[in-house]
Amino acid sequence: MIRDVHEAALIASVQIRAVARYTSSNNLTMPIVSRSHNLKSCHMSNFVALVFVCLLSCSIPCVGAAQVPALSKNARDGMRLVEDKQYREAIEYLTRASQEGSKAAVVEESLVTAYLSVPPSADIKDMLRGAGAAARRAIDYGGCAPFIVDRALTGRFDKNFADGERGQLRVCKDRLDYAAKRADTTFTIHPADIIEFGFNRFKGESKAAFHLKVKGQDGKKANHDFRPASFSEREPNLLFELMGELWHLQPVQ
């Protein structure tokens, strides 16, 4: 039981910091745990993080011993390396953990984060292929493919991208989940409600910004502008690929 609690706390801690490490200069803290939990702070011990996950969860069951996958040493070490921003080393350990056959979605999600966090280099194509393979395994195992993004609070970015918030956009088998620090900007988009998506070819073009137009609750169109935290088109391109494979949707050109 103690080991399970510690493993759950590790999962919570890694997923919290997956967003927190990208916080901007205004010191925003926007943790994501499992399917979009909102916590008040990332500055807490692993055990306290787990307690907060349980107390603040309202839409899905609490992370508990029965739901936590049995994480191998490679998995635990790899996830801690992601916490420490040692992404290439994390990839080595998490790849071994993935090959061990546990089919733990959280391992694959951490592997996606590690691959997409490696700074651009000569092996960028290998990093993208690795991220894509891990993302597909995460979805197959019941998890989601995570992408760190900024979202325009007004629906569209201004010319200086000054009106954005940091959050996580997750591609799951039957939906897109978005979650940030603010509860009122946490939402789910179902494939049937997606009208259009693709890169922004004018405003935000140089920052790899992209948009999702969806059916609003009032029947009107709602626009969501995003940009990847890396400012690289590789992440939206992977996201678009997954949407095409899962829901047979294609981005506008």
**Statement: residue 18 has pLDDT above 60:** no
Whether 156 and 122 map to the same domain: the answer is no
pLDDT at residue 25, rounded to an integer? 32
Q: Flag whether 252 is in a domain.
A: no
Q: Flag whether 79 is in a domain.
A: yes
To the nearest whole number, what is the mean pLDDT of the chain? 76
Number of domains in the chain: 2
Q: Bigger pLDDT: 41 or 198?
A: 198
Whether 115 and 214 map to the same domain: the answer is no
pLDDT band at residue 50 under the 50/70/90 scheme: very low
**Statement: residue 21 has pLDDT above 70:** no
Whether 119 and 196 map to the same domain: the answer is no
Whether 93 and 170 map to the same domain: the answer is no
Q: Flag whether 78 is in a domain.
A: yes
pLDDT at residue 241, rounded to an integer? 97
Whether 104 and 176 map to the same domain: the answer is no
Which of 84, 115, 140 is the last residue in one of the domains? 140
**Statement: residue 65 has pLDDT above 70:** no
Residues 6+ apart with CB under 8 A from 55: none
pLDDT at residue 84, rounded to an integer? 96
**Statement: residue 57 has pLDDT above 50:** no
Q: Flag whether 41 is in a domain.
A: yes
Q: Bigger pLDDT: 132 or 24?
A: 132
Contact 167, 179 (CB under 8 A): yes
- Is the dihedral angle over the CA atoms 118, 23, 108, 1 positive or is it negative? positive
Domain that holds residue 134: 2-140
Whether 135 and 152 map to the same domain: the answer is no
Retrieve residue 58's tokens: 């309202």
Q: Flag whether 70 is in a domain.
A: yes
Q: Flag whether 73 is in a domain.
A: yes
Beta strands in 29-144 (DSSP E): none
Query: In this predicted structure, which of 65-69, 84-88, 177-181, 208-212 has the lowest mean pLDDT?
Result: 65-69
Across the range 37-47, mean pLDDT stands at 36
Which of 92, 114, 140 is the last residue in one of the domains? 140
pLDDT band at residue 19 under the 50/70/90 scheme: very low
Whether 178 and 240 map to the same domain: the answer is yes
Residues in the chain: 253
Q: pLDDT tens digit string along 113-138?
A: 999 999 888 788 899 999 999 999 99
Nearest to 175 by CA among 223, 226, 243, 107: 243
HSE, side-chain direction, 13 A CA sphere, residue 206: 3
Which of 140, 168, 200 is the last residue in one of the domains? 140
Contact 151, 180 (CB under 8 A): yes
Q: Where are the alpha helices (DSSP H) in 31-86?
A: 46-56, 73-83
Q: pLDDT tens digit string along 132-160?
A: 999 999 999 999 999 999 998 877 776 66
Whether 84 and 196 map to the same domain: the answer is no
pLDDT at residue 134, rounded to an integer? 98
Calculate Rg over the CA atoms of the chain. Answer: 17
**Statement: residue 106 has pLDDT above 90:** yes
pLDDT at residue 139, rounded to an integer? 98
Whether 70 and 131 map to the same domain: the answer is yes
Across the range 85-114, mean pLDDT stands at 96
pLDDT at residue 179, rounded to an integer? 92
Distance CA 176, CA 146 (A): 10
pLDDT at residue 207, rounded to an integer? 77
Whether 157 and 125 map to the same domain: the answer is no
pLDDT at residue 60, rounded to an integer? 33
Contact 210, 169 (CB under 8 A): no
Whether 9 and 57 map to the same domain: the answer is yes
Q: Flag whether 253 is in a domain.
A: no
List Cα–Cα distances, 147 to 57, 239, 242, in angstroms. 22, 8, 12
Q: Which DSSP category does 39 fall into?
A: -
Query: In this predicted structure, which of 40-44, 97-101, 119-123, 227-231 has the lowest mean pLDDT?
Result: 40-44
Whether 134 and 241 map to the same domain: the answer is no
- CATH code, 177: 2.30.29.30
Query: In this predicted structure, which of 23-32, 70-79, 96-105, 221-230 has the lowest mean pLDDT?
Result: 23-32
